[in-house]
Amino acid sequence: QAHEALKRNEAELSVILEHIPLATTLVDASQRIVRANAAMANLTGRRPQEGEGKSLCEVISCLHHLDNPTGSSSDHTCQTCKGRLLISDTFDTGKAHYQEEFTLEVAGENGARQTDLLLSTVMLPSRQKQALVCLEDISERKKAQQQLIESDRLASIGLLVSGVTHEVGNPLTVIMGYSDQLLSKKLPD
């Protein structure tokens, strides 16, 4: 009976993991993927099974990951990567992290590109030392926010120019009125 209950729980957790809309993966203490969901495949462009056993950074296609054969195993960028440090902190201290923002330089179809991610981590209460890692690509959201900020700045500049034009225009109207009066008067010879 206990064995059947365990199988049912595993099946339920498997369905839950697979249908979480965030890129979600289980990683071991060396930050290698144990299991990933379909949303992770959408983020990385790889089927979930392709990433199993590989480092999370490699699967995400970070250009600076320590396992990169073309990179350096002492790449400073990887060693100081906020994402890597947050996951390590979860393993070292057991502390969960929630929606921590960081940026990676990833290999894309058109060369390297900056990717902004939100990362959440939590240790799993299991015999194997594993953490649940959730990632959300917020690059498009940040780009839209930046465009909105630029639009607001342009609108503010437009209002400023309009106000300055109005303030400069008022005295000019008075000056033009006096000029017309002076010109209409006949000047003595």
Q: Which structure tokens are listed for 96?
A: 């969960």
Count other Cβ atoms within 10 Å, centred on residue 40. 26
Taking alpha carbons only, the member of 78, 83, 75, 125 closest to residue 100 is 83
Please give the pLDDT value at position 72.
Answer: 44
Please give the pLDDT value at position 172.
Answer: 77
Full DSSP string of 2-66: HHHHHHHHHHHHHHHHHH-SSEEEEEETTSBEEEE-HHHHHHHSS-HHHHTTSBHHHHHTBTT-T
Angle among Cα 81, 119, 107 to the nearest 5 degrees reads 55
Note whether 69 and 86 are within 8 A (CB). no
What is the pLDDT tens value at each position of the chain, 189 positions in all? 888 888 888 888 888 888 888 999 999 998 899 988 988 888 888 777 778 888 888 888 776 666 655 544 455 667 778 888 899 999 999 999 999 998 888 777 777 778 899 999 999 987 789 999 999 999 888 888 888 888 888 888 888 888 887 777 777 777 888 787 777 776 565
Count other Cβ atoms within 10 Å, centred on residue 32. 19
Note whether 139 and 108 are within 8 A (CB). no
Full DSSP string of 113-170: EEEEEEEEEEE-SSSS-EEEEEEEE-HHHHHHHHHHHHHHHHHHHHHHHHHHHHHHHH
Please give the pLDDT value at position 52.
Answer: 84
Distance spanning both ends of the chain, measured CA to CA: 122
